[in-house]
Amino acid sequence: MIGAVGIAFSCTDLAAFREIFSKASNIAILTGAGVSAESGVPTFRGAGGYWRKWQAQELATPEAFSRNPSRVWEFYHYRREVMLTKTPNPAHLAIAECEERLGRQGRGVAVITQNIDELHRRAGSKNILEIHGSLFKTRCTSCGHEAANHNSPICAALAGKGAPDPDSKDAQIPVQDLPRCEQAGCSGLLRPAVVWFGEALDSDIIIRAEKVLDNCDLCLVVGTSSVVYPAAMFAPQVAARGVPVAEFNMEDTPATMCFKFHFHGPCGTTLPAALSPHASEKH
């Protein structure tokens, strides 16, 4: 039956997607940088993507942190503070609303995101796996304790620091004044609980993501491509099971890479239409 659907409809047929969507009981939604970009969240990658003189791949590494924890904390402090000025966009909201609505019908929606900005959470999504961690979580470099942290500023010494312009000077904050662990008797240096370049993904989260993908009967890839990391770790195995995969992004996906459906454009425009209540839904 799945094969017949693939033959019968083109990759951009929204009505065909909606038909499958209306019957899906477990939907996995992989989201990437494009969803955050539509809320104006900077990535510090690619053309113009600089904080001071650096791009993310030069600061978001364990080596950069051990060389200069003050500078790396300034970078993350800036990113946390920027998020106070950003809000979820219609794509985040459509995903959250869909989870809530389908939940009432006994159907499941799970978000697997590479984004670290918590905009899915703020939009109201509950079932979220953050495979690259969160800007608003810390991990102790001594005891390993992880904790949610939404303080602004995260510590007194970082107040007013982290200016992004290239002429800004390093604050050179003494390491004892950077964020420290509050577990009894620890006070180790905290780091952002995000996956840095060169670090492995949390195996626990990967196992949970794979379980979601093994159980899904529809997979959406939103604001990224199913052929690039990290969605490429997941989407092809879903497609290989014969499960429909629908991409919503700005990329030009080569025809040979077409995963059943591709909807081109800003996901804040394409996704609300795709996930709105279907005529067949019982409310």
Residues annotated as binding site?
Answer: 32-51, 76, 79, 114-117, 140, 143, 181, 186, 223-225, 249-251, 267
For residues 29 and 140, which CB has a smaller minimum distance to Zn ion in the complex?
A: 140
Q: Is 142 in the site for Zn ion (CB under 5 A)?
A: yes
For residues 101 and 145, which CB has a smaller minimum distance to Zn ion in the complex?
A: 145
Q: Is 141 in the site for Zn ion (CB under 5 A)?
A: no
Among 42, 188, 236, 272, binds Zn ion (CB under 5 A): 188
Size of the site for Zn ion (CB under 5 A): 8
Peptide bond into 230 cis (omega under 30): yes
DSSP 8-state secondary structure symbol assigned to residue 280: T
Question: Least distance to Zn ion from the beta carbon of 183, Å?
Answer: 4
Question: Least distance to Zn ion from the beta carbon of 71, Å?
Answer: 22
Buried b (16+ CB within 10 A) or exposed e, 198-225: eeeebeebbeebeebbeebbbbbbbbbb
CA 201 to chain centre: 13
DSSP, residue by residue, 243-258:
--EEEEESS---GGG-
Q: What does the alpha-carbon distance between residue 243 and residue 134 come to, in Å, rounded to a whole number? A: 29
Q: Is 43 in the site for Zn ion (CB under 5 A)?
A: no
Q: Is 183 in the site for Zn ion (CB under 5 A)?
A: yes
Buried b (16+ CB within 10 A) or exposed e, 86-110: eebbbbbbbbbbbbebbeeeebbbb
Q: Is 143 in the site for Zn ion (CB under 5 A)?
A: yes
For residues 163 and 186, which CB has a smaller minimum distance to Zn ion in the complex?
A: 186
Residue 41 is encoded by which pair of tokens? 């969240």
Options 36-44, 50-58, 106-114, 178-186: segment touching Zn ion (CB under 5 A): 178-186
Annotated binding site for substrate: 76, 79
Tell me the C-alpha to C-alpha distance, in Å, between residue 15 and each of 6, 27, 80, 105, 231. Answer: 13, 17, 40, 21, 25
Strand-pair category, 128-130 with 146-148:
unpaired
Strand-pair category, 146-148 with 133-140:
antiparallel
For residues 144 and 160, which CB has a smaller minimum distance to Zn ion in the complex?
A: 144
Residue 77 known to be catalytic: no
Strand-pair category, 245-249 with 218-222:
parallel
Q: Is 186 in the site for Zn ion (CB under 5 A)?
A: yes
For residues 19 and 182, which CB has a smaller minimum distance to Zn ion in the complex?
A: 182
Strand-pair category, 190-194 with 133-140:
antiparallel
Annotated binding site for Zn(2+): 140, 143, 181, 186
Question: Least distance to Zn ion from the beta carbon of 190, Å?
Answer: 8
Question: Least distance to Zn ion from the beta carbon of 140, Å?
Answer: 3
Among 33, 119, 123, 140, binds Zn ion (CB under 5 A): 140
Q: Spot the catalytic one: 77, 92, 120, 132.
A: 132
Q: What does the alpha-carbon distance between residue 124 and residue 110 come to, in Å, rounded to a whole number? A: 12
Options 144-152, 165-173, 243-251, 270-278: segment touching Zn ion (CB under 5 A): 144-152
Which residues are near Zn ion by CB under 5 A? 140, 142-143, 145, 181, 183, 186, 188
Which residues are part of the catalytic machinery?
132
